[in-house]
Structure 1
Amino acid sequence: MRLLKSTQVTDLHPNIAHRFTRKATRAIILNGENILLLYTKRYHDYTLPGGGIDEGEDNISGLIRELREETGAQNVNNIQAFGYYEEYRNWHKDDYDVVHMLSYCYTCEIDQELLAPEFEPHELQNGMQPLWMNIYAAILHNEMVIKNSEKKGLSIERETFLLKRIVAELL
């Protein structure tokens, strides 16, 4: 899979710091200029659905599971690799200094009807909800949050980059 971007959001050198790697998947599901996203009330941002790959799980199985849990998506099909985003970020738990985050992005299709999501407690607490959104409006919204919000989430810059890349290559 091709590298879309590699970024370092840490003051520690990734080769020296005590680090761990977290692998995740992100789903790109388009319907014209609309894209299936997650809105997070806590951070007031839009992100691609997806999440961490469980131990023993491959990328595709993780993608399908995360889509079902976060959006209620059914019959995930026509899965194609889009690229991955690599980042190094500060980490302040579990005896690590840095997380090496790899987000594997895939285009796919789903049935139009979404079932009820199965959110984890922290996702419910953050006010996550799946929705179809005009991709251009989502980019503008996230750019305003990056510019004006002090409580923005750590993922918004990655997600906004990915949304712009999707527009450039798929629309």
Structure 2
Amino acid sequence: MRLLKSTVHPSLNSLDQSSFLRLAARGIVLKGEEILMLYTQRYDDYTLPGGGIDEGENQIEGLIRELAEETGAQNIRNVKAFGMYEEFRPWYKEDFDIVQMKSYCYTCDIDDELGETNLEDYEVKNGMKAVWINVHDAIEHNLNTIKNSDKKGMSIERETFLLSLVRDELLVAS
């Protein structure tokens, strides 16, 4: 899978520290210029649905599970590799200093109607919900959050970069 970007969090002075690898799968679901996103009230941002790949799962199995859990997506099909985004972030627990995260992004189709979600407790507490939004509006919103919010999460730069690539590579010019 092609490498889309590799980033190092600005607070990290060196990657020569104890680290671990976390694998994630993220879904890109488009209907015209509308994209299925997760809006998180706590961070006031839009992110691609997806998350950590469980032990014993491959990337596509993780993608399908995460999409269904977070958005209620049904009949996930036509899964195609888009690219991988790699990031090195600080880790705030005792066992490691850095997490290396590889997010494997896939385009796919789903049924029009979303089913029930199965969000984790922290996702509910953060006010996360699945929404369809115009790609351009999601980019503009995230850029505004980056510029003006002191509560933004660490993932917003990744998500805004990925949304820009979706806009540039996947939207059909009208």
TM-score (norm 2): 0.96
Structure 1 residue aligned with 2:34: 34
* 1:161 alignment partner in structure 2: 161
Q: RMSD in angstroms over aligned alpha carbons?
A: 0.7
Say how many residue pairs are matched. Answer: 170
Q: Which AA in structure 2 matches 1:75?
A: N
Is 1:13 matched up with 2:41?
no
- Residues 113-159 of structure 1: CA deviation (Å, up to 9, x unaligned): 10121100000000000010001000000000000000001100000
Residues 1-171 of structure 1 correspond to what in structure 2 (within 5 A)? 1-9=1-9, 10-14=11-15, 16-171=16-171
**Cα distance per residue 1:14-53 (max 9 Å; x no partner):** 2x11000100011000000000000000001000000000
Deviation at 1:94, TM superposition (A): 4.0
User: How far did 1:92 drift?
Assistant: 1.1
| Alpha-carbon distance in structure 2 between the residues aligned to 1:74 and 1:94 | 39
**5+ long unaligned stretches in structure 1:** none
Q: Tell me, in whole angstroms, the C-alpha distance in 2 between the residues paired with 1:34 and 1:48.
A: 12
- Report the CA distance between 1:63 and its aligned residue: 0.2
| Partner SS, residue 124 of structure 2 | helix
Identity of aligned residues (%): 61
- In structure 2, stretches of 5+ residues that fail to align are none
Secondary structure of 1:75 counterpart: coil
Would you identify which runs of 4 or more consecutive aligned residues in structure 1 move more than 3 Å? Answer: none
CA drift of 1:162 comes to 0.1
Quick one: which amino acid aligns to residue 53 of structure 2?
Answer: I
3-state SS of 1:54 partner:
coil
